[in-house]
Structure 1
């Protein structure tokens, strides 16, 4: 983000995870294409990000992660040069290892997570980014047995690890921002309030995702207002409403989310109230426009930017 800017707009690369964007038929075909022709794959994504009008990108899971970027272009510096020549900045990187780690309260699992996070942090700093967005562990499907309760004691164990991880990342020049992922332990209002209370604001920050908060049954404006001082980056996305309380939470939960996401201004997010909140709380930082696997991501992000610039930024200013 350029010094002196109030809001800068980026895109999470998950937005490009649609077969139609690559002229393919399936997500498996995208992964195969990324392996077989990595330069064509990455060049198309970065060209698309540039064409959409954003100035930043957020890396995410493979084949859109930092290891893939280095493997494709040969080094951190060369990847940075590919961004620079397109007028792009690496604004942040998404870290999904907590969700995939299983019981990360075990010391061995924690050591593995810390090692991955440290290497990721070094990459981010080398690309002039200082934000790592971290997905929280998923909740259990309602009614599953034996029931696992996300109570104070369980939340305290998780918060203690997040505090330590945040301090480790801070020592490497990177800030930890928890992402409000629907059906995780950090999306519904009560869960966010609990984790914000238990974590140290010096080391654990927040990346609210407006759509995921709606899908979780909460109001993003009210929720973020309570914790606005913890927000260092935000995902701007729209959703049509809350998912059923008994939604199956398994390895396909992120696919189930997609039916509830929609284009900017077509869902339940109160964008005028959202931009007034950011204005009144003097938020300055990255705004990540995101559409999970958009068929025409360049057009959709460009349209979202048009809505923002015409209807929202005049209010913000």
Structure 2
């Protein structure tokens, strides 16, 4: 199948750089963190509401939430006028005995993405505390040997995805992971090959890690291959770190908020992204696990409309 052909979003800003920002959405904004979970909305409703909210491009989210048979997935997308642009996948890279399983799962995901024409796989670093149980599952700080294996395997995985599937691996910072703070990101960039390891600028997780995402755009313009745009409540983020809440607890308490609330300030952020003057996929997200099922659709519409006022995407014509 041919790769996805993006149609520019018609922004109200006449500057053509803003039209290079391709806007999408993800299951995260519908409270989906896991392939299956009783607290999550069913996948058919999520797809229906993504289309109703005015989106065309989507991520598949956790592998197994949407159908993993490419023909079925493509058929369900076509029914709703949707196009898959990326998938996501957790994987353990800093433990030698986990490489085989991580490679297998990444290949399974990449094969589906390739079959439906998507060209990005978002690598989510493993968490040292579970998103679901909030219990510690790993060391909080990696040894130098573990870090060296982590980055070597990131390069290895990125090369496999690129050479064999035509997929760009974009690494996603995450609360309660070993790639969270600015120092973590600097070190990761220094130790990985930009030819094979790109970066998903998740603006909410960058704020959660104590940095302004605009600084990342300024300092690493060439490493940014993909964007998740979301906001965090700075007061709740500060409390979460002060009291050492698990990331999942911080989200359950409302740390991820609907713009224009929270940080970063979206107009300046969109301006910075447009200033890169190249096509970038910007996926609108909000961490909402768990969420009442009647919340995501009106929230997604409100968020899309607000971001359009910030020159990201087109405003509704209805």
Q: What 5-or-longer segments of structure 2 have no aligned partner?
A: 9-19, 131-135, 314-318
- The residue that corresponds to 2:24 in the other structure is 10
The 5-angstrom pairing of residues 93-112 of structure 1 reads 93-98=87-92, 104-112=93-101
- Which residue of the other structure, out of 156, 170, 184, is the alignment partner of 1:164? 156
Give yes or no for the alignment of 1:279 onto 2:274. Answer: yes
Scaled by the length of structure 2, the TM-score of the pair is 0.80
Partner Cα distance (1:46, 1:262) in 2: 22
Partner Cα distance (2:219, 2:148) in 1: 20
Partner Cα distance (1:148, 1:262) in 2: 27
SS of 1:245's equivalent in the other structure is helix
- State the 1:3 CA deviation: 3.6
- The residue that corresponds to 1:263 in the other structure is 258
Asked if 1 retains the 8 angstrom alpha-carbon contact of 2:120 and 2:170, the reply is: yes
> CA-atom RMSD, angstroms?
2.7
SS of 1:69's equivalent in the other structure is coil
Scaled by the length of structure 1, the TM-score of the pair is 0.80
- State the 1:156 CA deviation: 2.3
- State the 1:169 CA deviation: 0.8
- The residue that corresponds to 2:80 in the other structure is 86
- State the 1:91 CA deviation: 1.3
- The residue that corresponds to 1:23 in the other structure is none
- Which residue of the other structure, out of 99, 117, 124, is the alignment partner of 2:113? 124
Asked if 2 retains the 8 angstrom alpha-carbon contact of 1:66 and 1:123, the reply is: no
- The residue that corresponds to 1:43 in the other structure is 44
Deviations 1:136-194 (A, max 9, x none): 133589xx9x9864465543221101000101111221111111112212221111011
- The residue that corresponds to 1:133 in the other structure is 122
Give the length in aligned residue pairs: 281
CA gap 1:268/1:67 in 2 versus in 1, 3 angstroms:
closer
- State the 1:105 CA deviation: 3.5
CA gap 1:225/1:155 in 2 versus in 1, 3 angstroms:
farther
- State the 1:2 CA deviation: 3.5
SS of 1:183's equivalent in the other structure is coil
Give yes or no for the alignment of 1:209 onto 2:202. Answer: yes
- The residue that corresponds to 1:177 in the other structure is 170
- State the 1:68 CA deviation: 4.8
- State the 1:45 CA deviation: 1.1
User: Which of structures 1 and 2 has the larger relative contact order (alpha carbons within 8 angstroms, sep 6+)?
Assistant: 2
SS of 1:229's equivalent in the other structure is coil
Asked if 2 retains the 8 angstrom alpha-carbon contact of 1:8 and 1:287, the reply is: yes
